[in-house]
Amino acid sequence: MKNCSKCGAEWRLVKAGVSKKTGKPYKAFYACDSCNNKMPAESLTEKPQKDLRYDQIMTKLDAIENGIGDILAELVKPKDNL
């Protein structure tokens, strides 16, 4: 969602900084100039959690592929021992 949830205008990214009013640091957020709506920037840039199982499965698939490759290489090898 790159647009304001209230009015649909494009968000303006406000980088993290320190508030001049309160002197407190604030995180980056999106602001809407049209209706003064605000949203934390994290909710837009949040990365999906990496699934560790994916890596495990890919590693296993690689091993299986290598195994099949070895078997195929064995099958097509000229049988000189006959």
Q: Which residues bind Zn ion (CB under 5 A)?
A: 4, 6-7, 9, 32, 34-35, 37
Closer by beta carbon to Zn ion, 35 or else 64: 35
Nearer to Zn ion, 2 or 53 (CB): 2
Whether the Cβ atoms of residue 30 and residue 38 lie closer than 8 Å to each other: yes
Look up residue 30 and give its two tokens: 């999106």
Supply the minimum distance, in Å, between the C-beta of residue 53 and Zn ion: 40
Residue 73 burial by Cβ neighbours in a 10 Å radius (0-12, 13-18, 19+): exposed
Tell me the closest approach of the beta carbon of residue 46 to Zn ion, in angstroms. Answer: 21
